[in-house]
Structure 1
Amino acid sequence: MLISKLLAFITLISLGISIVEAKTIDWTETKNHVGEFVTVQGKVVRTYNSKKAIYLNFHKDYKSHFTAIIFASNFNKFLKSPDTLFKGKNISVTGKIKKYKGQTEIIVKSPDDIKILEAYEPIKNIEKKSVETLIKVKDQFVDKFKVGLANIYFSAALFENNIEKPLFKKMETPPKRELEIEFDRLSAQYLARYIKYLDSDVLVICESPNDPKIVEKFISEYLDDRYLVVHNAPVVKNKKYYYNQQVMALVDRSKFNVRKYEALNKKDITKNNLLYPFPPNKTIDYNGKPTKFWWSRFPIEFDVSLKSDPSHWYKFIATYPKSKFARSDKQALKARMQNNVHQMMLRERVEVVSKDFEDIFILGDMNDSMGMDEKEKKLGIDSLSTLYHGKNDSILWDSVSYKDKEGTYVYKGEAQVIDFIFTSHGLKKGKGRVKPSTNNFFHFFNTMIKHNLRPRPDRLENRELFLSDHAPVVIEVKH
C-alpha cells in the first residue's frame, strides 16, 4: 500500500501536479489570519441581497464579524441564488481573508469556493491541518496577449486638415493641400508600420485624433481591419474641455470580446455598452474656496475577455491627463492641481472596480513622473502618487522597470518615466499573469531622438520620419 501511494505521488509530480495541505480555520479566528489564503468553516446565520452583492453573515452582528461576499457579476455562476442556497447552512469558504471597516471578509468569485458541510464543529486548534487534501495543477496557460501603450506625437494632426485648421501654430508658408495629402499618406504608412511593429493585442494611444471614424477608416485601409476602436469621444460632455489630442484604445477584434462604458443614461445601456462611470468633475478646496475641476481629458474604460475563455474579464482604464506645465506660475499651479484631481478621480474608480475585478490595467501617458517638483511641493501634492501609492499600494503595482538613465521621455536632456502600465496584484498570481519586465524600447527611441530634429506635428517636412517623443511600453499577459 505504501509503495503504491509513493508511486502515485511520483506520478503526480511528473505530471506537474503538487499536493497542498489547506489550512482550515473557524470563522471566529479570521481576524488572526488577515491576508492569508485559507478555508473558513462556520454556519450562515443571516443573508442579505442588495442586488449589487450578496452577504453571507456568520454572526447577527454582521458589522464586526466575518462575512462572505458574492458580487453581482458572479450571481449567474450559481444554480440558485446564494442568499437562499446557503442561508442556515454549515459551509466552508475558501479564499483570501481581507479586512474592511473593522470586519473580516472573503470575496467569493466561484461556486467552487463554497461547500455545504454535513456537520460543523468549531475548530479549537487553528493550526490543525485540513482533513481534505487539495490537488492543485501547476499553472497551465492556455493563451496570451500583449498590452501596449504609445503616445503618437503627430497622430491628431495627421488625421485632420492641418493646413486650414492648424492644430498648433499657423504656418507662415503653408504647402498646398495636395502636398499635405501626400505627406499624410506617407505618414499613415509609417504609422501603420509602427503599430504593426508593436504588435499589441490591446494598444492604448495617447494624442489620438478626436474623431474615431477617421481612425476606423485608417485601421480598415492600413491594418487589415484588425482592431476595434474604443474612444472617449462618445462621453465628452462639454466641448470646452475637449482638446484635439485624445485617448483611445485599439482592441484585436478576432481575439477578444469587448464591453465598453459609453452609455450616458440608462436607456442607452446594452449588454456590451454599460454606463459611463466617471463623474464630469470634482469640487475641492483650492486657494481657500471650493473650486470645480473638470477632467482635462476624459478617460476611457472597457473590459475584454479572451474568446478562448469568455467567462474571465480583464478591466482596462486608459487615461491621458493634460500637461501640468503652463506659461505663468499661477496657471502652472492650477494645472498641477487639475492633474492631481484627475488622478484622484481615477483612484476612486480603481478602488471601486477592484472589488469586482481581479485583473485590472490602468495605463496612459500621465504627463507626470514619480516625485514632486517645486510647484507640487508648494501645493503639498504628489499627483501621480494620488493614483499609484508606490510599492506599498494594496491594489496596483508597476510591472515595468527601467535601466539607469532610461525612461519613456527625455526632458531637458534627462530621461524620465511618464508613461505607465499599472496592473492589479491579481495579475501576479491570478488567471492572468504579468511578469515584471524591463522596458526594451528606450534605445531605439533615444537613437531616433538623437538623429532627428524634433519636428512640430504641424510642420510637414520630415514628419514621416518621426512618430513620437515618447518611448512605447509593451507587456505580455499569460492566461
Structure 2
Amino acid sequence: MRHVLVFIFVALSNVVVAQDVVPWDAITDAHIGQELVVQGQVVRTYDSGKVTHLNFHEQWQGKFEAIIFASAACDFRVAPADFFLGREIQVRGKVSKYKGTLQVIINRPQDVWCTDGTQVAANVPVSHGFKVGPKLKNGVRIVAWNVENLFDEHDDPYRNEGNTRTTVESRKARLATVINHFNADVIALEEVENRGVLEDFNKRYLQGLGYEVVLFEGNDTRGIDNALLTRLPINSVTSYRHCDYVDAKGVTRRFGRDLLRVSIGGEFNADVYVVHFKSQHGDEKSDVKREAEALKALSIIQDELDADPNYRAVIAGDFNEVLEMDESKKQLSVKFFIDAGLIDSCAGTDKYTYNKKPYLSRIDFVLVTKGLAVDMTRGAVIDEVPGANLECASDHYPVLVEFAVAASGEDSL
C-alpha cells in the first residue's frame, strides 16, 4: 500500500501530528470505517443539486469519490464543483461505501485543502445570538417544515442510515435562524432522527422560545421521524405508528414514518396532525403506499368530522405529491383531503416547497378543516427570510399559517 507522510499542525496545542495520506486509487474496502486523509487530482465534478461529486477518475463508479452534500456546500464561498475541478486535493474523513463506490463525505471546508496551498474560502453563518421575530398579535402561528435529515453524530446500529450524515453546526445555525425568526407557536417537523437530537437543538438554538418537544420513534428504516415543537398547552398526544391498514393491493401496512397527532388546548383548541407520506421513489409501489397512508390518515380525521362537523384540525407536513397530479397516475394523497372538504391554506400560490432542481414543486401542505379555517388569516410558502439562505438550511421551504384565535402576543411578521 502506498502512503505519503503529511504533518498536520494543531495550533492551539503546538502539537505536530503525523498522519498517513493515502492516494485515492489505493483506497479499498479494508479502509471502510477508518478516518483518513486521501489525496488525488479532481478530474470530474458534478453537482446534482443535492450532492456535489468530486471524482478522481472519469469512470468513477465502483472506485472512490469525495462528496459534499448541498447543505455543506453552502459553507464554501465558491461552489465546490467549480473550485476543485482540476486541482490536486487532500480530503479528511471516514471512508464509507455507497452503492458500490467508496467515498469520503466532506462535512466542512476545513476537511479539504489544495496541495498547492490555495486557500479554501469558507462562509461562516451566525452560530449564536439569533434574532427572534415578533410573536403573532392576537393569534396563533403554525409552521410546517421538512428540515432534511436533522441527525446526530452517532451511528444508529438499528437503522439503515445509508448516506445520511451528521447535521453540521453551520446547518443547525441556519435552521435556527429561520425558526427564531418565525417565533411560531407550533412547529410541525419532518425528518428528525430522534428525540435526543431535537431536545439538544431546542436547548442550544431555540432558547427562550419556550418549546416542548413531542416525538415518538416511528417506523422509518432510515430513522427519520415526525415531531412537533409547541409552547401552547398539550391536552394529549397520539402516535399511530402501530396502526394497521390495508392498501389497494390487499397488503397490510403501517405508516412508513408515523402519523403524529397532538391535541392542543387553550384558545386554539385544535388537533395538529404531522405527516410525512411515502416518497416518489419506487414508481407504482410507492404510489400505492402513499395513497394508503393518505386514506388511513383521512379516515381518522373523517371519523372526527362525522362526530363533530365543526371539528378543528390541521394536517401538516410533507405529502410528497403535488395537488395537481394527473389522476390517471393514482397519485392522489393531497386531493383526497381536498375532496373531503379540507382547505389548502396556500391555495392559489405559485411557489414551490421542494427547492432542489429539477424537481421544484409544492409537496408540503398545511390543510385545515372548515371548523378551524374560519379563523385562518394567512397561509404562505416562505422562500425568503432575512439573514438566512433557506436553500442551505433544507431542501424544503417552510409553510406558515396564522389563525386569529387568541388575545395575546406582540406584532406580526
Q: Report TM bin, short chain.
A: 0.5 to 0.7
What residue in structure 2 maps to residue 230 of structure 1?
214
Could you tell me which amino acid in structure 2 is paired with residue 201 of structure 1? Answer: D
Supply the AA of the counterpart residue of 1:372: M
The C-alpha deviation readout for 1:398-426, integer Å capped at 9, x for no partner, is 1213544x211246446421110011112
- Give the letter for the 1:320 counterpart: H
Q: Which residue of 2 aligns with 1:372?
A: 325
How far apart in 2 are the matches of 1:478 and 1:258? 19
Amino acid at match of 2:259: P
Q: Deviations over 1:240-292 (max 9, x none)?
A: x443211101001xxx2102334xxxxxxxxxxxxx56762212442xxx322
User: Counterpart in 1 of 2:362?
Assistant: 417
Residues 202 and 250 in structure 1, CA contact (< 8 A), matched pair in contact too: yes
- Do the aligned partners of residues 163 and 189 (structure 1) sit closer, same or farther apart at CA in structure 2, a change above 3 Å counting? farther
Match of 1:316 in 2: 272
From 294, 303, 320, give the equivalent of 1:343. 294
Do residues 434 (structure 1) and 376 (structure 2) align? Answer: yes
Contact 1:407–1:417 under 8 Å retained in 2: yes
Percent of aligned pairs with the same amino acid: 18
Where does residue 151 of structure 1 map in the other structure?
A: 146
Instruction: Note the C-alpha offset of 1:313.
Output: 1.8
Match of 2:161 among 159, 163, 167: 167
Letter matched to residue 257 of structure 1:
P
Of 218, 222, 226, 2:201 maps to 218
The aligned runs of 1:358-397 (5 Å cut-off) are: 358-373=311-326, 377-378=328-329, 380=330, 382-389=332-339, 393-394=340-341, 396-397=342-343
1:320 deviation in Å?
A: 0.7
Cα distance in 2 between the residues matched to 1:442 and 1:192? 15
Letter of the 1:473 partner, please give it. V
SS of the residue corresponding to residue 317 of structure 2 reads: strand
- Note the 1:29-40 alignment, pairs <5 A: none
How far apart, in 1, do the equivalents of 2:137 and 2:360 lie?
38
Compute the displacement of 1:334 (Å).
1.0
Distance in structure 1 (CA, Å) of the matches to 2:373 and 2:325: 29
From 235, 241, 244, the equivalent of 1:259 is 235
Q: 1:385 aligns to what SS in structure 2?
A: helix
Which residue identity does 2:175 align to in structure 1? L
Q: Relative to structure 1, is the Cα distance of residues 411 and 162 closer, same or farther in structure 2, using a 3 angstrom cutoff? A: same
What SS is found at the alignment partner of 1:435?
strand
TM-score (norm 1): 0.49
Relative to 1, partners in 2 of residues 1:363 and 1:403: Cα closer, same or farther, differing over 3 Å?
closer
AA aligned opposite 1:474: L
Please state how far the C-alpha of 1:365 moved relative to its aligned partner: 0.8
Call closer, same or farther: CA 1:347–1:403 in 2, change over 3 Å: closer
Where does 1:113-128 land on structure 2 (aligned, <5 Å)? none
In 2, the alpha carbon distance for the partners of 1:304 and 1:261 equals 9
Deviation at 1:219, TM superposition (A): 1.3
Change (3 A) 1:428 1:283: closer
SS of the residue corresponding to residue 426 of structure 1 reads helix
The answer as to whether partners of 2:149 and 2:191 remain within 8 angstroms in 1 is: yes
Secondary structure of 1:248's counterpart equals strand
Match of 1:187, as an amino acid?
A: R
Corresponding residue to 2:259 among 286, 291, 299: 299
Q: Give the secondary-structure state (helix, strand or coil) at the position aligned to 1:213.
A: helix
User: What pairs up with 1:244-283 in 2 under 5 angstroms?
Assistant: 244-252=223-231, 256-262=232-238, 276=239, 280-283=243-246
Which of residues 373, 389, 398 is equivalent to 2:344? 398
Q: 1:333 aligns with which of 278, 284, 304?
A: 284
* Counterparts of 1:385 and 1:154, CA distance in 2: 27
**Separation in structure 2 between the aligned mates of residue 324 and residue 414 of structure 1, nearest angstrom:** 11
Paired letter, 1:146:
R
Q: Kindly tell me: are residues 218 and 250 of structure 1, through their superposed partners in 2, closer, same or farther at Cα, counting changes over 3 Å?
A: same
284 and 415 in structure 1: CA distance in 2 versus 1, 3 angstrom threshold: closer
Q: 3-state SS of the aligned residue for 2:316?
A: strand
8 Å contact kept, 2:245–2:254: yes
Q: 3-state DSSP class of the match of 2:396?
A: coil
Contact 2:174 2:389 in 1 (8 A): no
**Residue in structure 1 matched with residue 22 of structure 2 by the alignment:** none
Q: Which moved more, 1:341-350 or 1:352-361?
A: 352-361
Q: Deviations over 1:118-146 (max 9, x none)?
A: xxxxxxxxxxxxxxxxxxxxxxx993110
**3-state DSSP of counterpart to 1:400:** coil
Q: Answer yes or no: is 1:477 the counterpart of 2:412.
A: no
Alpha-carbon distance change, 336 to 190 in structure 1, aligned in 2, over 3 angstroms:
same
Q: Distance in 2 between matches of 1:314 and 1:205?
A: 18
Point out the structure with max Rg over C-alpha: 1
Root-mean-square deviation (CA, aligned residues, Å) is: 3.2
Q: Is the 8 A contact 1:151 1:468 kept in 2?
A: yes
Contact 1:228-1:250 at 8 Å conserved across structures: yes
Matched position secondary structure for 2:320: coil
Indicate conservation of the 8 Å contact 1:151/1:207, yes or no.
Answer: yes
Moved more, 159-168 or 243-252: 159-168
Q: 1:297: how far off? A: 1.1
C-alpha contact 1:278 1:349 (8 A) present in aligned 2: no
| One-letter identity of the residue aligned with 2:338 | Y
TM superposition shift of 1:372: 3.1
In terms of fraction of residues, the more helix-rich structure is 1
Count of residue pairs the alignment pairs up: 265
